[in-house]
């Protein structure tokens, strides 16, 4: 039973890491490609005048 829980725990950790990376990639895509001030809204940088 312990081995099964270790496997489920490891799989869950990899899924959370993958979701975190997708989330960061999405924020950067909005910032750099779509030119939305997403990082400034989160307090990281300044808003450019348009």
Average pLDDT over residues 2-27: 97
Alpha-carbon distance 8 to 16, whole Å? Answer: 12
Q: Is the pTM of this model over 0.95?
A: no
The pLDDT of residue 14 is 98
Q: How far is the CA of 14 from the CAs of 9, 11, 17, 32, 39, in angstroms?
A: 9, 5, 5, 27, 25
Q: Is the pLDDT of residue 39 over 80?
A: yes
């Amino acid at each position: 039973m312990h081995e099964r829980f270790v496997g489920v725990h490891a799989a869950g950790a990899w899924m959370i890491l993958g979701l975190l990376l997708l989330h960061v990639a999405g924020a950067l895509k909005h910032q750099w490609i779509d030119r939305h001030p997403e990082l400034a809204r989160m307090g990281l940088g300044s808003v450019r005048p348009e």
